[in-house]
Amino acid sequence: MSDLTHTQPFALRAESASEFASRAPDHVELMRELGVRPRPGWTSRLPPGLASFVTNGKGMAGVVILLVLVLMSAFAPLLSDYNPNRRAGKPHVQPGYEHVLGTTRLGKDVFTQLVYGGRVSLGVGLGAGAFAAVIGLALGISAGYFGGRVDDIITFFVNVVLVLPGLPLIIVIATMVEAASPMVIGLVLALTGWGWSARTIRTQTLSLRTREFVTSAELLGERKWRIILVEIFPNMLSFFVGGLVLGTIAAILAEAALEFIGLGDPNAVTWGTMLFWAQNNLALQSGAWWEVWPPCIAIMLTGAALVLINFAVDEITNPQLKASRKIGRIKRFLTRRGRGADVF
Amino acid sequence: MKMRTMTALGSLTLALALTAPVMAQEEVILRLLPAHTDAMVENYNPNSPGPGAQQRTRDFTYEPLWIDNVWHPGVSEEALAVSWEVGADLKSVTYKLREGVKWSDGEDFNADDVVFSFDYAKANPDYPMGIDVYNGESGNVTSAEKIDDYTVKFNLNEPDALARYGLNGLYPLPEHVWKDVTDPKTFANTTPVATGPWTAPRNFSRNGYDMCRNELFRGNADNAIDCLRFPQMNGNEQTVAAISAGDLDWLGDGLTDPDVTFLPQSEFNNYWLPAGSDVNLQLNTTKAPFNNLAFRQAISVATDRQTLLDISTFGLTTATKFPIGTGEMYSTWYDEAALAPYTWLMEYNPDKAKELLDGAGFVDKDGDGWRDNPDGTPISFGISMPSGWTDWVNSGQTVAENLQDIGINASLKTMDQGAWFDAVPRGDFDVYVMWTNGGPTPYNQYQPMFNPRLMVSGQIDFQSMHQLPIPAIVEALDKFKSTADLDAQKAALTDVHKLVAENVPVVSLFANPIWYEYSTRRFTGWVTEENPFVRPQVHDGNRERVLHALALKPIDGAKF
Amino acid sequence: MIFLARRLVFYFAAFVLAITFNFLIPRLMPGSPSDRIIASFQGRLSESQVAAIRRSYGFDGNLWEQYITYVQSVFRLDFGISTVQFPEPTAALLFYGAQWTLVLVGLAIFLAFFIGSFMGIHAAWNRGGFFDSFFTPINVMMNAFTPAIVALLLFYAFSLQLKWFPLGRAHDPNLMQNWFDLKFVGSVLYHATLPVLSILLVSFGGWHLGMRNVMINLLNEDFVVLARAKGLSENRIKYRYVARNAILPQITSLALSIGFMLGGALVVEQVFNYPGLGKFTFTAIGARDYSFIQGQLLLLTCSVLVANLVSDIANVMLDPRLRGR
């Protein structure tokens, strides 16, 4: 997953595209043939980065899915009157009017557990992802910008974190604390998960440091923290978001896996512990599919949504990677016009 | 039910005899799984401190002096000894050994081997041979004396009518082999020399091995089974599928919903879950509020045991009748009339619990919705549970809910199993759920539970975690121990029962089942509810299991 | 060469840090192997035996002496005795678990690498086509389905219900281990099918995306334009020119994956009862089998460091710009 972010600057295609466009005889006809709709007005008023995100179908699909999951979790108390920790009915009641998604072997309401569980799973995942991304950003920029001794020391730690055996280490740490609550798991994941984003951001900062706008800011006597915040940080935003998204995926999956194998706190209601209980009480073998599928689907949907968002971020960082059907149309269009489509 | 997984950390691989000679008659093989494990280890040391080896080697390969038939005292109990006698002063036990027994390498078994085994246990205290050797401070057996070739006398430090129960479980070692073994705990004993029915290992691999017939075993005429096969397995999905497919005959796994997940898998699948030892809540009485009797009583009546039985433990456990820390396993020792006044402690009655708490001054003083100590300090505690022991975690959760309902801020606190074990000796806990040991008499349970030496911080035993010294119980237990008369023992035990019920050092919850699943695909003669001739489980600690195995007969035409 | 020397210094420092860490872990974890052993006897041990067992599984001497002893044993490759699989030497168990982990994770990594890379090449070459716009997101999304779920569902469907595949183990227990016996190898592959699939399904998307993205960036490079101008065949350009260059960063990632391979696939091994290192480690942690935990962490750290070193050396050899630095 570390290969998701790419760094090569891109200029060539944009130029050639505008060249073709200017030669086109009839703008409206061209747009129709290409299937391009005129940009809706409101997106053009957004900052360009955000605008390209909003117009990115994949990214928006991901955002919508994630938003639905987040809202369902946030408004859990409105969606269900049951207590996720208490028995709400008989064991293994089928989905129905009383229990939308049925009950678990212990008689807890699955839907209630799902929405309340989302609070913890999403919260811990996003929290750990954000924490790791912030550490990565801070260390990556510091190493890249200050260089020298600072860079040496930070790079050493980055490399150590990168070679640490992740999961076994997390298991050991989880057993050292008394109960591996979701918070603890999240913290451990954050503290061990910042290596890649630190490395990527350091590389990016190194290449930015010598650019004219940074040099000129330095010559103007700007303070270092201002240069970092105002000149460098905005350019790191997409890498930061990429790191955040990937870190969140990793944290959500790792938390679920740890809880699934029984290292979490089974008191906590999360998607991972729901799976743990379903597996332990042999839900599948007893035919209670409704105890297994909801947490599975929730985890998979979250993962899918985040991956879609990451796609969008990647495509904005590096528009060449865009895999829209439009490119296929442009290719066909160009071929019809007797031009080679090699540039793509 | 994960108790089993814990005791059972071993397993194996089948090595079917591709190279075995073609037999005129098909070999009769019993496939059994006394222990789960990730990989089989070639270790046939009957007292190996690593869990696993003793699970497969004891009883089947190495024989004890005596088999205490817990369900039918006195029936077919002779093993390497044929009789025992407790000295008149209760300071010795003398065993008459079986004559004519040969070790599987042809050497004679005699009193020298038994004396050697005792001295060996004394010389190697970290090699757990199960004998209570006197070491100048604790323990009781001081020496073993050879009276003649087939008579051994064990001398005791203090009078003890029950010492034979401990000595019965000695698995004598062949002196001519073990005298050269200097570090017995790491000795793998790959070529076992023993006296039991199956002593010849075959086809070892990490996936399992066979233990085949001892040609010199005295009971070979009645032993229908040529080999025991110990496969390596781990996990209930695997074992249930294996027994359903005919890869296992005898199993002792904690199953969830066996009627749904086990019985329908094969017409040959059967199970029976008789009541085993009890499960108690251990309250740390060195701390407030557990040092208050009314509070402990309130916990007992606030507990909804019916829900624990039916839902938290999947309907597989058995109700406990009296608040005495032990359960149905020892029902023959109950004096029901004497215990009747205490049954209210076992009935679910939240109103009574509130009344008890109000009366003792446990009311909400700071207005946070939870009851506080009479001195105004808040009450908040965790019920500690090892994570992964599903049914216990369920039970702890239910008890916590019950307590919350009467205004006590209790919660379930799960921890890694290692941390859970670690906190016990130091007394670093509020409330624990704890099994009881079992054993031939209730004395074996109450002795560690009320032994003041086991209540010292740093050496607290799993059974004495409540740390409530009750000297009257110790006296009654001494009385029990110092008489061989059953009626006198019963009278002493009734005193113990009443004292436990009056003091509520532990809160009885339910009796764990004895896990026992079997397949009638190839064998008949299994222990059933109608024919409970011995305790049926396949695990070590149940010395009767060898009688069970020897009682099995192949069904005509069964494929092995 | 200065670059390599610096890396070597780093690896040595990381190694020292790692063994120190390995040394401290058991001493920081609550509990000890003796607790589990004592509990397994369920009250059948006398007080004096309990005390003796606690003593013989404890640590002797002060921390510094223990550390020296430990470091010496590391260099003697003496990993001690496992307490879970008593009294098996830890080294033998590590070796046993490692071979099955190599089969399981090795197969999964290589299959994922080849399948993912080929799909990536195809997607990049036909960027915007149906394959690219449909499979690229799907494959990458599968990356976010944790092996726990995939393994659980595969196990339930194909092992428990349909009974097409076995419920555990690395091979048919009736076959003796012999890697030259085709029947045995077949049995190994059969038993590994579902576990490998569980890892494969959630990992090839990463290779797909990585390959695709690198390829796309290369398609605009001068050498591609030149190759076209020369009139070389499409396939020749695709595989000989572009894919060949794009695979270099992929191989670096592959080396790192191989390094982490010995960590095992804990969840998958757990679900399928596969006797790999992940499962052994999990059991060992629960039972506080310190010698195994230390041995496994050491093995893993070393393999990761070696893999990193190999990829560094490969980078230096393949990228002349790094040589002078």
pLDDT tens, position by position, B314-324: 888 889 989 99
H-helix or E-strand containing B112? Answer: helix B111-123
Instruction: List Cα–Cα distances, C37 to A267, B6, B51, B127, C290, in angstroms.
Output: 28, 9, 6, 11, 14
Say what the pLDDT of residue C321 is: 59
The pLDDT of A301-317, averaged and rounded, is: 87
C235-287 pLDDT tens trace? 888 888 888 778 877 887 888 788 888 877 888 998 888 999 988 988 888 77
Alpha-carbon distance of C40 to C25, in angstroms, equals 24
Mean pLDDT of chain B: 88
What phi and psi values does residue C18 have, to the nearest 5 degrees?
A: -65, -45
Nearest CB neighbour to C84, from listed B9, B422, B439:
B9
Copy the structure tokens of residue C54.
Answer: 């606690």
Residue B384: closest CA among B433, B435, B421, B425: B433
Instruction: List Cα–Cα distances, A201 to A137, B12, B487, in angstroms.
Output: 6, 50, 82
Alpha-carbon distance of A250 to A199, in angstroms, equals 17
Say what the pLDDT of residue A335 is: 66
DSSP state of C105: I
Residues of C in contact with A314 (CB under 8 A): 213
Nearest CB neighbour to A328, from listed C123, C129, C301:
C129
What phi and psi values does residue B296 have, to the nearest 5 degrees?
A: -65, -40
Residues of C in contact with B420 (CB under 8 A): 31
Copy the structure tokens of residue C248.
Answer: 């270099």
Nearest CB neighbour to C83, from listed B50, B53, B125:
B50
**β-strand partners of B212:** B200, B227
Q: Which of A86, A92, A281, A291 to mutate to test the interface with B (most CBs of B within 10 A)?
A: A281
Coil, helix or strand at residue A157:
helix
Alpha-carbon distance of B544 to B506, in angstroms, equals 30
Alpha-carbon distance of C198 to C208, in angstroms, equals 17
Higher-pLDDT residue of A70 and C286 is: A70
Using CB atoms within 10 Å of the CB of residue B375, give its burial: 0 to 12 exposed, 13 to 18 middle, 19+ buried. exposed
CA diameter of chain B: 84
Alpha-carbon distance of C123 to C132, in angstroms, equals 5
Chains interfacing with C (3 or more CB pairs < 8 Å)? A, B
B507-555 pLDDT tens trace? 999 998 999 999 999 999 999 999 999 999 999 889 999 999 999 999 9
* Percent residues over pLDDT 70 in chain B: 95
Instruction: Report CB contact under 8 Å: A311, C133.
Output: no
Contact residues, A window 99-128, toward B, CB-based 8 Å cutoff = 105-107
The residue assigned the tokens 């109103």 is B351
Instruction: Report CB contact under 8 Å: C216, A321.
Output: yes
Concatenated DSSP letters of A268-322: S--HHHHHHHHHHTTTTTTT-HHHHHHHHHHHHHHHHHHHHHHHHHHHHH-GGG-
Buried b / exposed e along B440-450 (16+ C-beta atoms within 10 A):
bbbbbbbbbbb
- Confidence class for position A9, pLDDT limits 50, 70, 90: very low
Copy the structure tokens of residue B64.
Answer: 């004890």
Alpha-carbon distance of C243 to B128, in angstroms, equals 64
How close is the nearest chain A Cα to the Cα of B385, in Å?
A: 10
Concatenated DSSP letters of C117-166: HHHHHHHHHTTTSHHHHHHHHHHHHHTTS-HHHHHHHHIIIIIIIS--S-
Instruction: Count the residues in chain B.
Output: 560
C112-150 pLDDT tens trace? 999 999 999 998 888 878 888 888 888 888 888 888 889
The pLDDT of B35-59, averaged and rounded, is: 87
Alpha-carbon distance of B17 to B5, in angstroms, equals 29
Alpha-carbon distance of A296 to A302, in angstroms, equals 10
**Total-model pTM:** 0.83
Contact between residue B174 and residue B193 where contact means Cβ atoms under 8 Å apart: yes
- Confidence class for position C325, pLDDT limits 50, 70, 90: very low
Alpha-carbon distance of C261 to B37, in angstroms, equals 23
Instruction: List Cα–Cα distances, A79 to A73, A74, A86, A111, C224, in angstroms.
Output: 9, 10, 16, 9, 57
Mean pLDDT of chain A: 79
Q: Which residues contact A22 (CB under 8 A, 6 or more apart)?
A: none
Contact between residue C39 and residue B110 where contact means Cβ atoms under 8 Å apart: no
Instruction: Report CB contact under 8 Å: A306, C144.
Output: yes
Contacts A–C by Cβ distance under 8 A? 160
Instruction: List Cα–Cα distances, B123 to A275, B99, B142, B177, C197, in angstroms.
Output: 50, 27, 12, 16, 54
pLDDT at A24 over 60: no
Query: ipTM of the assembly?
Result: 0.83
How is chain C split among helix, strand and coil, in percent rounded to 5?
Answer: 75, 0, 25
Alpha-carbon distance of A199 to A140, in angstroms, equals 6
**β-strand partners of B92:** B155
The residue assigned the tokens 């408004």 is A75
Higher-pLDDT residue of B201 and A311 is: B201
**β-strand partners of C152:** none
The pLDDT of A156-178, averaged and rounded, is: 74
Handedness of CA A214, A217, A221, A225 (dihedral sign): negative
Handedness of CA B386, B389, B392, B393 (dihedral sign): positive
Q: How far apart are the first and last CA of chain B?
A: 31
Alpha-carbon distance of C10 to A154, in angstroms, equals 12
For C131, half-sphere exposure in the C-beta direction (CA atoms, 13 angstrom radius) is: 13
Coil, helix or strand at residue B207:
coil
Contact residues, C window 202-261, toward B, CB-based 8 Å cutoff = none
Instruction: Count the residues in chain A.
Output: 344
Residue B282: closest CA among B468, B495, B447: B468
**β-strand partners of B510:** B279, B319
- Confidence class for position A327, pLDDT limits 50, 70, 90: low
A256-295 pLDDT tens trace? 988 888 777 777 899 999 998 888 888 888 888 899 999 9
Q: How far apart are the first and last CA of chain C?
A: 7
pLDDT at C38 over 80: no
Find the residue in A nearest to C144 (Cα).
Answer: A303
Find the residue in B nearest to C82 (Cα).
Answer: B50
Alpha-carbon distance of B61 to B211, in angstroms, equals 8
Q: Helices C290-318 & C2-28, crossing angle to 10 degrees?
A: 170
Higher-pLDDT residue of B243 and B11 is: B243
Peptide bond into B49 cis (omega under 30): no
Instruction: Report CB contact under 8 Å: A165, C30.
Output: no
Instruction: Report CB contact under 8 Å: B205, C84.
Output: no
Find the residue in A nearest to C259 (Cα).
Answer: A163
Copy the structure tokens of residue C67.
Answer: 């550390």
> What is the DSSP pairing of strand B517-519 with strand B506-513?
unpaired
Say what the pLDDT of residue B306 is: 93
Return the number of other C-beta atoms located less than 10 Å from residue C1's C-beta. 9
- Confidence class for position B11, pLDDT limits 50, 70, 90: very low
Alpha-carbon distance of B33 to B44, in angstroms, equals 15
B60-96 pLDDT tens trace? 999 999 998 888 888 888 999 999 999 989 999 999 9
Nearest CB neighbour to C128, from listed A300, A302, A324:
A324
Say what the pLDDT of residue A43 is: 64
Chains interfacing with A (3 or more CB pairs < 8 Å)? B, C
Q: Helices A110-146 & A57-74, crossing angle to 10 degrees?
A: 120
- What does the angle CA A153 – CA A156 – CA A158 come to, to the nearest 5 degrees? 110
Residue B6: closest CA among B35, B32, B41: B35
B348-386 pLDDT tens trace? 999 999 999 999 999 999 889 999 999 999 999 999 888
